[in-house]
Amino acid sequence: MMRLIRAAGVLLQPRYCSLTLILSLLFGSWSTHASDPWSDWPLERRIAQMFIINLDSSILTESGRDFLAAVQPGGIVLLPENIGDPAAITILTNSYQQTITTAGGVPLFVAVDQEGGVIAHLEQGFTTFPVLALMTAAADPALAYRVGQVMAQEMAAVGVNLNLAPVADLETNPANPIIRRRSFGSRPEQVSPILAAYIAGLQSADVMGTAKHFPGHGETATDSHIQLPTVDLSLDRLNAVELAPFRAAVEAGVGAIMVAHIWYPALDPVENRPASLSPTVITDLLREQMGYDGLIMTDALDMDAIDRAYSYPEAALLAVQAGADLILSAHVGLTSHQQAIALIAEAVRSGALPESRIDESLRRILDAKARFGILDWQPLDPAGASQRIDRNAHERLVTELFAAGTAVVFDRSDLLPLRASESVVLAYPATRPSIARQCQAVLPDAHLIGVSASPSDEEIAWVRSSASRADVIVYFTQNADQDTRQVALVRALPPEKTIVAALWSPYDVLQFPEIAAYLVTYSPLDPAIPAVCAILSGAAPPHGQMVIALPGLDG
């Protein structure tokens, strides 16, 4: 719903007007320094707007309430320990906002990691969305826009106004321990238009998006939650590949960009300086060269890539000096936040950090809060939270997404669609009985064999025996690239008449590249099953494209 602000007798729409205009109508001429409406705020209060913190409870405790009222940070991030059902989340976000506004503060960013797929912190009572790559596979920006929009509607229904997503990293390294299966895809030309459409849809419903992890986490081989990765790529490569989706996000008007805890030697000559603390990455590259004027946010400063080398207050100061607007943290004590704010204030008062650096970020923060209607906060009715989340309609959208994105990667023997004259064996994990139900409805003559998720030697022999008498064998895998028993089953089958349908990892085929045909769903949710069965039977043509590079098979 469009929120309206009335100022000086004029109705304003915050998403389409800047805080500059709103506050100039409320307080007089907008200029710098003494005439700024917030110019009389204490320095510490201005700095506090730059912090997005977590309060470690599913309810607002007395200590948390006192901290919000006294310190008045810019935002709160919800983590799994904070999150319950929609009504409980609504009660919690209402309590945060009511506390801050009653104390005379500015309404908060309320953030969550809601990527879809692997990372989705809103679960109980919310729609389960597939991985981002499925949107890219569907190759339909209008569909990606709708997915972003309905995800935002579910977040807004419980008082969340900032999504720490989407992932703009490309999945270029199959060994990546942190980005794999979280990315929109491997190729910037496929990813960029879908990423931009998703951002537009998300932000159309007054939830600010965050493109992450700038300038690109996809090529890392280590996890920045554990140690500082190095991405040693050339400037030409970074510009052509890793930075391309972020340029698309900038052009789409994404509200925030999150900077990674990764050292990029080609971008910053200072050894082992993370991008999140680097003025050459944040200010020179992102702000000046790429022309981004939205909010620049650090990844969580309590990750091991940072806290092995810096204290939290030290890292916060370095990030602000580098040009960051928002300091994100996950598990940091309230006293540490106060120490970080005090250290930054001391740097301003000593002349080590220009006060204008603080005020520059504060303007962006308040402008973003106006743009996304946060300044016009009103409490939500917890009793109506589940009704505000239209799961039935949103689940139909997920089904539509699988139908559009499920892909035939190759069909070397022209086996698809299956012919009525052929005898077909269909083997599947017995833990997924919906496969039998859905496929038997469109392939009534297929011989169905349910096997263990990790098939035994006896089960493999059973399937092999049945396959020897069939014209075509279809086997549904689930992360076969991590399960030697599934690989053994496929390798026991005649490759020239074997079709594999990968229900989770698109990399399964690398374990048996000689098979005749390969389908991918990208995500294991139940709506994937009718999409695969429809392709097998010919009830629907395959629409999806392959968006994850497969070493040795790609291109």
* Token pair for 43: 């320095």
- Give the Cα separation of 32 and 54 in Å (integer): 32
* pLDDT at 554 (0 to 100): 65
* Token pair for 258: 């999150």
The one catalytic residue in 56, 121, 223, 225 is: 225
- What is the tens place of the pLDDT at every residue in 512-546? 999 999 999 999 999 999 999 999 999 999 999 99
3-state DSSP of 321-383? HHCCCEEECCCCCHHHHHHHHHHHHHHHHHCCCCHHHHHHHHHHHHHHHHHCCHHHCCCCCHH
pLDDT at 435 over 60: yes
**Residues with Cβ within 8 Å of residue 117, at least 6 apart in sequence:** 129, 130, 131, 132, 181, 182, 523
Pairing verdict, β 5-7 and 10-12 = antiparallel
Averaged pLDDT, 397-405: 98
* pLDDT at 117 (0 to 100): 94
Say if residue 313 is preceded by a cis peptide, omega within 30 of 0: no
Nearest to 46 by CA among 362, 366, 368: 362
The one catalytic residue in 268, 299, 483, 508 is: 299
* pLDDT at 23 (0 to 100): 42
* pLDDT at 36 (0 to 100): 67
- What is the tens place of the pLDDT at every residue in 160-201? 999 999 999 999 998 888 898 999 999 999 999 999 999 999
In 372-525, alpha helices (H) = 385-388, 391-405, 433-442, 457-468, 484-491
Known catalytic residue: 66? no
Element housing 473 (H / E): strand 472-477
pTM: 0.92
* pLDDT at 399 (0 to 100): 97
* pLDDT at 17 (0 to 100): 42
Averaged pLDDT, 114-130: 96
Contacts of range 27-34, beta carbons closer than 8 Å, 24 or more positions apart: 32/359
Averaged pLDDT, 42-60: 96
Tell me, yes or no, if the two domains 44-383 and 406-537 fold the same way.
no
Phi, psi (rounded to 5 degrees) for 509: -60, -20
pLDDT at 272 over 90: yes
- pLDDT band per the 50, 70, 90 thresholds, residue 225: confident
Element housing 355 (H / E): helix 355-371
Q: Which amino acid is at 215?
A: P
Phi, psi (rounded to 5 degrees) for 428: -155, 160
CA distance to 138, 208, 405, 460, per residue, from 141 (Å): 9, 19, 12, 42
Known catalytic residue: 225? yes
- pLDDT band per the 50, 70, 90 thresholds, residue 28: very low
pLDDT at 394 over 90: yes
- Give the Cα separation of 92 and 99 in Å (integer): 11
Q: How far apart are the first and last CA of the chain?
A: 45
pLDDT at 358 over 70: yes
- Give the Cα separation of 275 and 349 in Å (integer): 26
What length does the chain have?
Answer: 555
How many Cα neighbours within 13 Å face the side chain of 277? 25
Q: Which CATH fold topology does 406-537 show?
A: Rossmann fold (3.40.50)
* Token pair for 475: 């086997």
- What is the tens place of the pLDDT at every residue in 458-508? 999 999 999 999 999 999 999 999 999 999 999 999 999 999 999 999 999
Residue position matching structure tokens 């050894």: 271
Rounded to the nearest integer, the mean pLDDT of the chain is 92
**CATH class of the structural domain 44-383:** alpha beta
- What is the tens place of the pLDDT at every residue in 406-424? 999 999 999 999 999 999 9
- pLDDT band per the 50, 70, 90 thresholds, residue 139: very high
* pLDDT at 551 (0 to 100): 86
pLDDT at 440 over 70: yes
Task: Provide the residue ranges of all domains of the chain, joining segments of one domain with +.
Answer: 44-383, 406-537
Are the beta carbons of 406 and 506 closer than 8 angstroms?
A: no
pLDDT at 29 over 70: no
How many Cα neighbours within 13 Å face the side chain of 191? 29
* pLDDT at 227 (0 to 100): 80
How many Cα neighbours within 13 Å face the side chain of 196? 17
